[in-house]
Chain A
Amino acid sequence: MTTGADTARTQRALAALAVDPGGLKGLTFRARMGPARQAFETTLGKLPGPQHRIHPAITDDQLFGGLNIAASLAEGRPIRDAGLADQSSTLVLTMAERTPSGLAARLAQLLDADHGHALILLDEAASAEEGAPQALLDRLAFHIEPPEAATPVRLPAAADLDAARKRLSRVQVPADALPQLVTLAARFGIHSLRAPSLALRAARALAALDAEMTITEDHLQEAAELVYPSRATMMPAEAEDETPPDAPEADQSDNAEENGDQSLTDLPDDILVSAIAALLPPDILDRLAAKSTRPANAAGSGAGDRRRGNRRGRPLPSRPGRPSAQARIDPIATLRAAAPWQTLRRTGRNADRALLILPSDIRIKRFEDRSDRLLIFTVDASGSAAVARLAEAKGAVELMLAQAYARRDQVALLAFRGTGTETLLPPTRSLVQAKRRLASLPGGGGTPLASGLMAAGDLAHLARGRGLTPMLVLLTDGRANVPLSGEPDRAAANDDATRLASSLRQQGLSGVLVDTSNRPTDAARTVAATLGARYLALPRADAHGISTAVTTALEA
């Protein structure tokens, strides 16, 4: 892959986008700030049509329009602002890797509405886990990751673009172009059906650019090279030992025969496949792994991670600010701010107005909506050392509850031993209730780690539904020996525990694992790694030690 070829592809992608912005929906440009990006942005400015730069924190008012409070106050009647998205335009979203899922969904809906909008994401992600939201990536045709070196990107002349745009709707699609694109997508494990659709449109735009009236095999290959590589989820298997791709291929040739001369079947699929495979990013497998372990994003599910809203919760003093859809005006505070100025303002043409409020008077309501944390203590109560460990855990729970009132934490305690898990203390903030419940706590038996994790997961799920932010504190030595079925079987027990641990990680449950074995071993460390939890070895910790360690670990 040479720099020259890369630049050529970027140029073609941009030119295709200029020809069919509404159909191709846009592109992602993924690069850190540098010469390459500057070169790209320079060209971007030359794209035809209106263009707006937006940022991830853009409000709905700015995007979709809303009441312009300042102008309304000045005029004495409501005045609505047009949003950036009201007319079809190219939206350039900077810092796309920071796009919240809410904005991504709105932009996705905007693209789906087919009003001719195109979106260009400038993604400055530093690592593979970061990146623009999938909901948007899936809808945009192209994905560009430029090499470091800056090479100027040139667009065809405006007149050529116009001519191509006129030609666009008349470009013919050969009968077997579609099967080829779809089969190709399937071989790279691309599930979304948007990919072949976009590839087809890209091929059409490219053909129009080249002043061809029919899509040729070169266009198909080029389009596939532009659209598919970033979406591939697997390396294609060899055609010989793979049956599924063969069947449709047979189909294709049937089609081609029926449709007579316009045949592209002499283009071997394998050339296309290897052409795209060469463009796959070298670290594709690592990226896939990174994507699959990324914890689920719980925004909007009722989880109260957001600490400060301006809609509900405990009221805070009002602040001057710009009203928007996300903010509510505090009328009393606004009037109070405006009151001292009334005499001064009542001059000239304003003299007959009863009340003169200027935008600077407006005060916004603020609320503090602190979501409570739920600490789920999950304690290994198996074996002989259980008694001591349980006592420590109980002590730690009581200590943390004592601080809970100030910190708005809730605490729950689960103990697993023998064949199952017991909820010793359902989520509570009441110290009295906790003390009573914790008084008797038996120990001994096997280590059903999986069962404990499952109970913790269920509790976390419930807690999320109630707007709490659950956190797991797991006290164990990690040596599971009872699987979910209850029959003693060390291998199956480990297996179950691992599966549950990774499922908890997927849910985005963060936490700490306190290794309570006398000599810290790898077993607990492995569980912690699978859980994505912080690992603490505390062989002989007392209640205070655990409480302090857990607090610091969770705060960090």
Chain B
Amino acid sequence: MSLAFPFSAIVGQDTMKQALILTAIDPGLGGVLVFGDRGTGKSTAVRALAALLPPISAVKGCPVNSERPEDCPDWATVPDTDLVERPTPVVDLPLGVTEDRVTGALDIERALTRGEKAFEPGLLARANRGYLYIDEVNLLEDHIVDLLLDVAQSGINAVEREGLSIRHPARFVLVGSGNPEEGELRPQLLDRFGLSVEVASPTDIDERIEVVRRRDAFDMDREGFTAKWQPEDAKIRKAILAGRKALRELEATDAILRDCATLAVALGADGLRGELTLLRAARALAAYQGDKAISRDHLTAVAPLALSHRLRRDPLDEAGSTTRVTRTVAETFG
């Protein structure tokens, strides 16, 4: 596999980077949706994330990356009980993927050659405890979307086909990217993403120059460029690890809970999921920044991420939903 562009070398796009880091700190946030113009570095950021994430320890040879030997599914005969470090899985879900590849299916080769009924795990198994990345998520075929919706919600992949009856954990952070001009996302799928980010090309000439300069430097000398940014990446990785530890100690005070609820009501966000995500995201941000308590500043910073895709559509508001959230936050916290 070719080297990925270093995460810390991405110029600008701070909201997108922040959202991705927040999911690395609290995988329970429920994923990130990155929507924006062509050529703004959406896929670059996600692929860079894979190289940035701290490794996980998993049972050697376990198809679902189990943390402990007793968690290994019984259909997979895992001989080892050794734990090995492996990179956090970031699994690509290509658009043309078949149902079998996603959920896993009967291992045809073994069935044909050895006459055994064995399960061949799919992408969902590989993505357990990691990331599932869908580029151009708005173009994904409907029947695959239906599959994902169910698994993303329950964290369990149940396969009932070809005489197999198998279930295995499939808890992953769903990351989707796409260009809204090419089609909208179903509200049900939209809802599964905890955070959403709108990205645009930078308008500042100097920033644009820097983007092209770094990209060019990377293309010309991949190893050298990656090595140069390694220390920066390591810094972020450390902050993520520290953030994960700090997460448990951050309490949600009544005042913060009230703020979350007030915001969600003021924006008319559907359901309670918005408030929950808002709280979790604010906590993850506080943990990442090393703060001792969740404050309104954290809420203000993550509110557009957590709420902008849960608003009711307003066809006449050309400012976009992120602006609406920012405006309402400013009004509410006044």
A residues sitting closer than 8 Å to B (CB atoms) are: 23, 60, 63-64, 67, 76-78, 101-102, 105-106, 108-109, 112-115, 134-135, 138, 169, 173, 178-179, 181-183, 185-186, 191-197, 200-201, 244-245, 247-248, 251, 296-302, 311-312, 325, 454, 457-458, 461, 464-465, 467, 484, 496, 499-500, 503-504
Contact = CB atoms under 8 A, between A and B. Distances in A.
B212 A105 contact: no
A354 B136 CA distance: 45
B201 A192 contact: yes
B208 A465 contact: no
Nearest to A458: B313
Contacts of A311: 143
Interface stretch (B20-28, B105-113, B325-333): B105-113
Given A64-B94, A105-B139, 20 more contacts: A23-B219, A60-B96, A64-B96, A77-B112, A77-B113, A105-B95, A105-B182, A106-B95, A134-B38, A178-B216, A182-B209, A182-B212, A192-B37, A192-B40, A248-B206, A296-B184, A298-B183, A300-B138, A503-B315, A503-B316
14 contacts: A23-B219, A78-B108, A105-B139, A106-B96, A109-B94, A109-B95, A135-B179, A182-B205, A193-B39, A193-B212, A194-B38, A301-B183, A325-B96, A457-B315
Interface size class of B (residues with CB under 8 A): 35 or more
A8 B329 CA distance: 57
A302 B108 CA distance: 32
A454 B315 contact: yes
Contacts of B95: 102, 105-106, 109
A376 to B, nearest CB: 15
A193 B39 CA distance: 6
A302 B142 contact: yes
A101 B205 contact: no
Contacts of A458: 313
Interface string B160-202: 0000000000000000000101111111100000000000011
Contacts of A102: 95-96, 139, 141
B215 interface: yes
B216 A169 contact: no
Given A193-B211, A325-B98, A247 B205 contact: yes
B213 interface: yes
Nearest to B200: A191
A195 B212 CA distance: 9
B316 A138 contact: no
A109 B135 contact: yes
Nearest to B145: A302
Task: Pick the 6 closest A-B CB pairs, nearest first.
Answer: A192-B39, A60-B96, A105-B136, A248-B205, A194-B39, A301-B183
B256 interface: no
Contact of A300 (B43, B109, B142, B215): B142
Contacts of B142: 300, 302, 467
B2 interface: yes
A556 B136 CA distance: 33
B212 A465 contact: no
Nearest to A453: B315
Interface string B32-53: 0000011111010000000000
Contact of B187 (A108, A112, A195, A465): A465
B196 to A, nearest CB: 16
A78 B316 contact: no
B205 A297 contact: no
Interface in B281-334: 313, 315-316
Contacts of A109: 43, 94-95, 135-136
Contacts of A134: 38, 181
B139 A300 contact: yes
Nearest to A195: B39
Nearest to B216: A200
Contacts of A183: 205
Given A109-B95, A325-B98, A244 B38 contact: no
A297 B182 contact: yes
A236 B109 CA distance: 61
Contacts of A76: 112
A112 B38 CA distance: 12
B139 A312 contact: no
B139 A196 contact: no
Contact of B216 (A185, A197, A465): A197
A77 B187 CA distance: 43
User: Max chain A CB contacts within 10 Å: which of B206, B212, B316?
Assistant: B212
B183 A191 contact: no
Contact of A244 (B98, B139, B201, B205): B205
Contacts of B202: 193
A316 B213 CA distance: 57
Nearest to A75: B112
B156 interface: no
A468 B94 CA distance: 26
B272 interface: no
B214 to A, nearest CB: 10
Contacts of A173: 216
A113 B136 CA distance: 14
Nearest to A108: B136
A108 B206 CA distance: 28
Nearest to B184: A301
B269 interface: no
Contact of A484 (B98, B112, B182, B316): B316
Contacts of B216: 173, 178, 197, 200-201
Contacts of A182: 205, 208-209, 212
Contact of B213 (A178, A244, A504): A178
Nearest to B108: A78
Interface string B98-141: 10000000001100110000000000000000000001101111
B220 interface: yes
Contacts of B208: 182, 185-186, 193, 196
A300 B37 contact: no
A248 B209 CA distance: 10
